[in-house]
Structure 1
Amino acid sequence: MTSTQKSPIKTRLSRSIGLSALILAVSGGVAFAQAVVVHGNRRVDAETIRSYAVGRENPQEIRESLLSTGLFSSVQVSRRGPQIVVSVQEQNSTVNRVAFEGNRRVKSEQLSSIVQSKAGGPLSQELINADVERLREAYRRAGYGLSSVSGRIAPLPNGRQDIVFTINESGKTGIKSINFSGNEVYSAGRLRGLMTSTESNFLSWIKTSDVYDPDRINSDLDLIRRFYLKNGYADFQIVNNAARFDETAGGWVIDVQVEEGPQYKVGNVAVDSALRDVDGAGLQRYVATSAGDTYNAEAVEKSLVALTTEVARRGHAFAQVRPRGDRDASGRLIGITYVVDEGPRVYVERINVRGNTRTRDFVVRRELDLGEGDAYNKVMIDRAERRLNNLGFFQKVRITNEPGSAPDRVVVNIDVEDKATGSFSIAGGYSTSDGIIGEVSLSEANFLGRGQFVRIAGTLGQRTQGVDFSFTEPYFLGYRVAAGIDLFSKFNDNYNTGRFESRVTGGQVRFTFPITEEFSITPRYSLYVTEIDIPNEYSRPYNDCTLPLPGITPGTDGALAPTAIYNCVTNGEATLAVKEAQGSTLTSLVGLNFNYNSLDSVQNPRNGFIAELKPEFAGVGGDSKFLRVAADARYYREIFDDVVGFLRVQGGHVQATSGNLRMVDHYFLGPTLVRGFAPSGIGPRDVLNDPTANAVGGTTYFGGTVEVQFPIWGLPRDLGLRGAVFADAGTLFNYDGGQGSAYTGCPTGSEARQYNVATGGGQYGQSNVGCIRDKNILRSSVGVSLLWQSPLGPIRFDYAYALTKDEGQWGTNPTTGITGKYGGDRLQAFRFSGGTRF
């Protein structure tokens, strides 16, 4: 139909305006479109033009809609009685290409996907103007909000024209401030600390978290909402949030208004089951909420999952569990009743995974506890969404559903957006135990899009070197079991602690079975070789006299007379326990880890409990024969706003299952047990030939820590600096490397016991005994710390003052006649460690 032809409907319209109104009301958009008269079109179909008028009665709206297509250079819209007359002038020129100049921070390929002007398309100045605004918005979102953008048309001889967008990029314009109002319980700083978005500061040159991203802001607001609901504020709501670009301030300003409401505690808790063969009282033990607890929305969610899983296990696949809250505003109590009843029989017809460009579909699907054909359950869907978010593979995760092909069918849509999961890092620093140290590591948390974790790293330090490789398959053989392998080789120069060098090379195979969300069991098998070498150099003469050094080893030349006073155990050499351990020791070990973790955050815990119990048995082949058990438990509690208390207890015991325990299988402890003491500075040591250096280890240790961590006033929180004060106490004792005997031959007054630690007499007067000072003395210290979550990893500075220690005891060596203090602990007030460590 041309623009000049009249349809039968138009003829009837001219006869009766009242009838026209009736037909338009009944026929809707079709009748309206047929009442639009089009003039001036040559290439664009009239019906296409009319389609832009459907649903619009305002001539200006129709005009703007048509101009936005870029097909017309001008559009005039007028009303003629019941008709709308559209006069258009089509574009005569087409776009040859779209070019960008001046852009360095954002690639041209990315900008091309943003603009609507395309090569081969129509040329439209209004479309160019709209593209300019799109590019400005893109630069604002990328954090360069003061960038200017202009567009121009560059004519070409063939009648076609280029569109050139010129961009003058500004410096980074991030989030200048995040403001909260209405909050009284938690400070604005505390709420900002929950967000992944941060304010711009002097660290902005190395961070991107201060770039305004509306999706990230929405995610941050959800974190704040969940934080309040977890801490009892069931009425909490975000009243308003707004983001505005302040050109004067040079960045974005985020304003968030909240309404906290009162804090509630849990009142009565009950399970009400409408299922005939399921008793509500019998389900009570699956509930994670208890009367008197602070109301916690996360505990309610865990209860829903536990109850739904148990009821389904009993054969009720369609059962629904929903919480009913009975709120007592005056008493600030919420009684919770978990209602269990039969839900509608709805099946999952299809599960669609969309948006994943790298992650395989099966990696997403396996996080669901239901599949296609199973009963649909909203609780399980919500649980899967939380699991997918916790993987760390996606920028965003959204699960929705839509009706299926039948009333009892539903289609589940999982929309995800992949993000980078690999990392390459180069770290360096200084450790008081390992000296100057550097590390290069390459890791991938979603290897080949299969959800596997791979890491390879190497360290090179002043007193340590090593390589490490780890691989973890989180779903072994299709089950929710994490299987992994670790390979390692690490060299340590123990000059300061035992006059020897060591290298440990081996590997480990492990399987982790999740029992609950918090509890898991990890059986493992380790096989490694420990090589002990005693240097025989002029700078470090700690040989066992089998390789005498002229001028160093007593009795080898005229420089040192071969008298009893100068024998091989009196010139500061390695202890006989070390000499006995020289060479290679193969350890074949099976172990079992019991892990419990209820921390609110692994990186920066504020509340929760984490514990580990590690029984181990060595003796499945190999040289080492021992049974070892170690335990470590930590409890975190936020005392005040952003002030965290921390308690830790740890302990362990190892004993030989055959013969004596090898020295390399003892515990060697220091600042990891009690700060203020040097590495291997606590516990038994051989005082016969070196009063302080030769630590020989112990079989039993225990210790405890009390610490309070707090923010440092005046520093931005995203700097990652916090302070702490602490008190440590602990001890290590009971050397089991040989048969103890009388004090004969040990320094008098040193309280050292003589041990037969070698199998026979040595050369050049070497004895086959050692004098081990082994005192069960409680060591303790107090101190202050500076904690820094640096870009290279967590770094910690500790300064500790020892309150109690083994002072050692004055004595005289009967062989040398030298009087001194023997066997005291070695102190180290300052300790610094950091970076990614093996």
Structure 2
Amino acid sequence: MKNRVGTRANERAAVKAVKSVLFASAAALAVQAAVLPQPALAQSYTFTEVSIEGSQRIEPATILSYAGIARGQTVTAAELNDAYQRILASGLFEEVEIVPVGNKLVIRVVEYPTINRVVFEGNRRIKDEDLAGLVTSESRRVFNPATAERDAGIIVQAYAEQGRAAARVTPKLIRRSDNRVDLAFEILEGGVIEVERVSIVGNNVYSDRRLRRVLGTKQAGLFRAIIRRDSFVEDRIEFDKQVLTDFYQSRGYVDFRINSVNAEIAEERDGYFVTFNVQEGQQFTFGEVTATSDLADVDPAEFAEILRVRPGVVYSPALVENEIARMERLANRRGLNFIRVEPRITRNDRTLELDVEFVLSRGPRIFIERIDIEGNTTTLDRVIRRQFKVVEGDPFNPREIRQSAERIRALGFFGNADVNAREGSTPQQVIVDVDVEEAPTGSIGFGGTYSTDGGFGLNLSFNERNFLGRGQALGVELSTASGTRSYGFTFAEPAFLNRDLRFGIGLNYSETDNQYDDSYDTAIGRFTTSLTFPVAEYSTLQGRYTARYSEMLNAGSDLGDILTAEVDQGALFSSGLGYTYTFDTIDTGLDPTAGVRLQFSQDFAGLGGDVTSVTTVARAVGQKKVRNEEVTLRAVVEGGALWTGSNDSRVIDRFNLGSSRMRGFEPGGIGPREIGSGGVNDALGGNYFAVARFEAEFPLGLPEEYGLTGGLFYDVGSLWGLDNTSTTTAGNSVVQDDPAARHVIGASLFWTTAIGPLRFNFTKALQKEEHDEDRFFEFTLATDF
């Protein structure tokens, strides 16, 4: 076994060669001095014979070609040394020796052995087959120490990408017969080196806590033994620099820059300290926003009318891009080809405003010759091509190509996607090259849930986001909880008929035992097919058809007359149409710190089946981040109404307020109830509900690596309305069938852990009715493995 093979052998060979040359030179000089005293001259040799010794696989002629010495050639001692260095540099020999013997030059070599096999020792985190795919040393090839060292470095880098920067790899040789060796890479994996601290220097507006939420690099937390997000990955730093820059620029800090990023490892080599040195600059807002043009066929006033950005809005490059895209779409509708929109920005440092002048001009007449796609081994070409709003032969628009590249990356199908344009067959044509690298798109999930409403549960799921490479989404899910079983199947085609039209199919079946602790079970099956499409920049409309099977069964002896009558109805089938309109600016609006989401939906049952009804639900959400985005304020107002026509509704058709809509009460804890003898106390649900929720989420002042934040909330709401509100037999009666408001206050503790997000709610009902069932504590957990 030889460590760092070749190094000592090379040194010995060099010493031997130098000694040989010096000895021969000294002897020749002594003879000349004795015979004829004269001034010393540089020693030279002329060899009539060259002998190669020790070569087995390599031809002597090959060795002579490396030496560069021919028979009868006169060479100096320096040229002999150069010949030695050339033979050694070939990388074929473990030892080289050059010995002049009179008129004969002897070259002795020891060839490097052949690799018998390549093995890896000490690796647990990376499999042998994965490491074999990284190294270039292979069996049946001549061993090369430089290649072995390079392979060791590649293995070290692979471990560094997993956060194991302390990994060490040593190549060693195990000698075998017939000049063969086993090349063994001895691996010391080391532990994961965590990021002990992420610091930001130079930030005044936003706290370290807020900025660390943006970064992909996380500092070590309580669950450092089982979570990997806090391990140091060098490549993630570049990503963090980009997202940090995007964060500031989207909030008007156009002068923001990152001066440096330092990642220092502790002396114990057990942790990194990462420091971002930033310069925030001043926040700018939009000043005057105008549209101008010198083109005769362009009316600037028409384009100025569609501008959405107004003076005083915080400046963002994304908003400028949106305005450019909007004006270019208008130019296309007007038949104005090759129109380019250039934003000219005038800076006013006194008022901290940026005046934006959108100049409409006619660009060069360049067309798209073709779009070439490479690297997609699974995804079909058409899935990528439909992300382009242009096709071959259309006018070339650089901005549109950039946006197409972003849409391709946003698919999530590729680990890397590069889109570039180059000159085509003529200067007036361009070729768009799309180079993608496929990434896994399927997942199998195993998860656990717990809530005060549903108890413990398990989830099994399979999801494929790029089914058969067609860009379609397929999902299968099985969920079980205490007394509840649910089975679901979903399928979606995002570009139905090659248009911006999402086609979806959903199939779900669920069963419950002892619904709301009452003595009846339920079985509900639902089939839904839908079409969803955009109607405006922030709005979508979904139309759907729904077929529903529902049944209440296994009535218990303590069930009241109303629910007993509903159970006796047996299985019912409904069929109908519905729609949902959604307006959402929370994630994509003008202000990244605030937004609203408005939703209105109606479902009309009666297209065949046993049920005629109209279900209407409206929901409005407003969200605002204040105190430099440290505190999130949120308000939700929601209401619904159920009209059933001539037939009576059932409890499984009516609304029920769980903790997702109103906190502080048991499931079925508020609303109309049937109360009577024999322990009858049945939650009936209601045909109408109205709820308003107000909450604030804020930091607790603890290190954010603990993952703990706090919240306060106030809920007010009511559930009321039945088709049959008369007093029933045996003295039973319906109570609380009125819209009396319940008021709840509470505090929340949010804990982001390695096993999932936990939420603890502590509630107090300020106002409730006599038969309401409130509760003080709620706990939920959801996690995927």
Say whether 1:598 aligns with 2:585: yes
Say whether 1:625 aligns with 2:642: no
CA contact (8 A) 1:94 1:161 kept: yes
Question: Which 10-residue stretch deviates more, 408-417 or 503-512?
Answer: 408-417
Paired residue secondary structure (1:835): strand
Render the CA deviation track for 1:333-381: whole Å, top value 9, x for unaligned. Answer: 0111222211112222332334444433332222221223322212212
User: CA shift at 1:144, angstroms?
Assistant: 1.5
* Among candidates 419, 440, 448, match of residue 420 of structure 1: 440
Q: Matches of 1:346 and 1:91 in 2, distance apart?
A: 61
Render the CA deviation track for 1:485-526: whole Å, top value 9, x for unaligned. Answer: 111111123454544221111211111112345321111111
CA contact (8 A) 1:423 1:444 kept: yes
Say whether 1:185 aligns with 2:230: no
Render the CA deviation track for 1:142-163: whole Å, top value 9, x for unaligned. Answer: 2222122101233332334332
TM-score if structure 1 supplies the norm length?
0.77
* Correspondence list, 1:600-619, <5 A: 600=587, 607-619=594-606
* Among candidates 612, 632, 644, match of residue 656 of structure 1: 644
Q: Matches of 1:69 and 1:382 in 2, distance apart?
A: 48
Judged with a 3 Å threshold, the aligned counterparts in structure 2 of structure 1 residues 334 and 637 are, in CA distance, closer, same or farther, namely same
User: CA shift at 1:466, angstroms?
Assistant: 1.6
Residue 622 of structure 2 corresponds to: 635
Residue 825 of structure 1 corresponds to: 772
Render the CA deviation track for 1:443-467: whole Å, top value 9, x for unaligned. Answer: 2222233322222111222221121
Question: Which 10-residue stretch deviates more, 663-672 or 260-269?
Answer: 663-672
Q: Matches of 1:598 and 1:74 in 2, distance apart?
A: 73
CA contact (8 A) 2:736 2:769 kept: no
User: CA shift at 1:659, angstroms?
Assistant: 4.4
Judged with a 3 Å threshold, the aligned counterparts in structure 2 of structure 1 residues 590 and 226 are, in CA distance, closer, same or farther, namely same
Judged with a 3 Å threshold, the aligned counterparts in structure 2 of structure 1 residues 436 and 140 are, in CA distance, closer, same or farther, namely closer
Judged with a 3 Å threshold, the aligned counterparts in structure 2 of structure 1 residues 283 and 601 are, in CA distance, closer, same or farther, namely closer
Judged with a 3 Å threshold, the aligned counterparts in structure 2 of structure 1 residues 407 and 687 are, in CA distance, closer, same or farther, namely same
Residue 804 of structure 1 corresponds to: 767
- Aligned residue identity for 1:620: L
- Aligned residue identity for 2:465: A
Judged with a 3 Å threshold, the aligned counterparts in structure 2 of structure 1 residues 836 and 208 are, in CA distance, closer, same or farther, namely closer
Q: Matches of 1:229 and 1:66 in 2, distance apart?
A: 59
Judged with a 3 Å threshold, the aligned counterparts in structure 2 of structure 1 residues 527 and 721 are, in CA distance, closer, same or farther, namely farther
Judged with a 3 Å threshold, the aligned counterparts in structure 2 of structure 1 residues 611 and 191 are, in CA distance, closer, same or farther, namely same
* Among candidates 150, 169, 172, match of residue 152 of structure 1: 172
Judged with a 3 Å threshold, the aligned counterparts in structure 2 of structure 1 residues 346 and 203 are, in CA distance, closer, same or farther, namely farther
Render the CA deviation track for 1:517-557: whole Å, top value 9, x for unaligned. Answer: 53211111111111012434xxxx23xxxxxxxxxxxxxxx
Q: Matches of 1:259 and 1:65 in 2, distance apart?
A: 54
Paired residue secondary structure (2:320): helix
Q: Matches of 2:85 and 2:207 in 1, distance apart?
A: 48
* Correspondence list, 1:313-712, <5 A: 313-496=333-516, 498-536=518-556, 541-542=557-558, 573-582=559-568, 583-600=570-587, 607-640=594-627, 641-689=629-677, 693-712=681-700
Residue 48 of structure 2 corresponds to: none
Q: Matches of 2:61 and 2:426 in 1, distance apart?
A: 46
Say whether 1:173 aligns with 2:159: no
Question: Which 10-residue stretch deviates more, 285-294 or 463-472?
Answer: 285-294
* Among candidates 748, 761, 766, match of residue 785 of structure 1: 748
Paired residue secondary structure (1:220): helix
CA contact (8 A) 1:686 1:773 kept: no
Q: Matches of 1:117 and 1:110 in 2, distance apart?
A: 14
Question: Which 10-residue stretch deviates more, 517-526 or 150-159?
Answer: 150-159
Q: Matches of 2:645 and 2:475 in 1, distance apart?
A: 36
Q: Matches of 1:270 and 1:724 in 2, distance apart?
A: 43
Paired residue secondary structure (2:513): strand
Say whether 1:754 aligns with 2:742: no
- Aligned residue identity for 1:832: F
Judged with a 3 Å threshold, the aligned counterparts in structure 2 of structure 1 residues 525 and 679 are, in CA distance, closer, same or farther, namely same
Judged with a 3 Å threshold, the aligned counterparts in structure 2 of structure 1 residues 243 and 421 are, in CA distance, closer, same or farther, namely farther
Say whether 1:776 aligns with 2:739: yes
CA contact (8 A) 2:675 2:732 kept: no
Judged with a 3 Å threshold, the aligned counterparts in structure 2 of structure 1 residues 90 and 371 are, in CA distance, closer, same or farther, namely farther
* Correspondence list, 1:175-324, <5 A: 175-246=195-266, 248-324=268-344
User: CA shift at 1:313, angstroms?
Assistant: 2.5
- Aligned residue identity for 1:133: G
Q: Matches of 1:65 and 1:222 in 2, distance apart?
A: 48
Q: Matches of 1:301 and 1:44 in 2, distance apart?
A: 67
Judged with a 3 Å threshold, the aligned counterparts in structure 2 of structure 1 residues 376 and 319 are, in CA distance, closer, same or farther, namely same
User: CA shift at 1:247, angstroms?
Assistant: 5.5
Judged with a 3 Å threshold, the aligned counterparts in structure 2 of structure 1 residues 105 and 661 are, in CA distance, closer, same or farther, namely closer
Paired residue secondary structure (2:682): coil
Render the CA deviation track for 1:689-712: whole Å, top value 9, x for unaligned. Answer: 478832222222212111111233
User: CA shift at 1:231, angstroms?
Assistant: 0.8
Render the CA deviation track for 1:264-308: whole Å, top value 9, x for unaligned. Answer: 111011122344323222123433321111112222222222222
Q: Matches of 2:217 and 2:583 in 1, distance apart?
A: 31
- Aligned residue identity for 1:754: T
- Aligned residue identity for 1:585: L
User: CA shift at 1:433, angstroms?
Assistant: 1.8
Render the CA deviation track for 1:210-261: whole Å, top value 9, x for unaligned. Answer: 3433443222221111111111111112222244555634244433221111
CA contact (8 A) 1:505 1:529 kept: yes
CA contact (8 A) 2:520 2:553 kept: yes
Number of matched pairs? 697
CA contact (8 A) 1:144 1:169 kept: yes
* Among candidates 742, 759, 782, match of residue 835 of structure 1: 782
CA contact (8 A) 2:639 2:689 kept: yes
User: CA shift at 1:171, angstroms?
Assistant: 1.7
Q: Matches of 1:785 and 1:450 in 2, distance apart?
A: 43
Q: Matches of 2:312 and 2:85 in 1, distance apart?
A: 62
Judged with a 3 Å threshold, the aligned counterparts in structure 2 of structure 1 residues 534 and 332 are, in CA distance, closer, same or farther, namely same
CA contact (8 A) 1:731 1:778 kept: yes
Q: Matches of 2:441 and 2:114 in 1, distance apart?
A: 43
Q: Matches of 2:89 and 2:683 in 1, distance apart?
A: 81
Judged with a 3 Å threshold, the aligned counterparts in structure 2 of structure 1 residues 246 and 680 are, in CA distance, closer, same or farther, namely same
User: CA shift at 1:620, angstroms?
Assistant: 0.8
| Percent identity between the two aligned chains | 30
Paired residue secondary structure (2:445): strand
- Aligned residue identity for 1:798: N
Q: Matches of 1:206 and 1:183 in 2, distance apart?
A: 32
User: CA shift at 1:666, angstroms?
Assistant: 2.1
User: CA shift at 1:68, angstroms?
Assistant: 9.0
- Aligned residue identity for 1:650: E
User: CA shift at 1:194, angstroms?
Assistant: 0.4
Q: Matches of 1:465 and 1:44 in 2, distance apart?
A: 81
Judged with a 3 Å threshold, the aligned counterparts in structure 2 of structure 1 residues 203 and 368 are, in CA distance, closer, same or farther, namely farther
- Aligned residue identity for 2:207: S
Paired residue secondary structure (2:213): helix
Render the CA deviation track for 1:401-450: whole Å, top value 9, x for unaligned. Answer: 22222212222233333333333222224322222322222222222333
Q: Matches of 1:265 and 1:284 in 2, distance apart?
A: 19
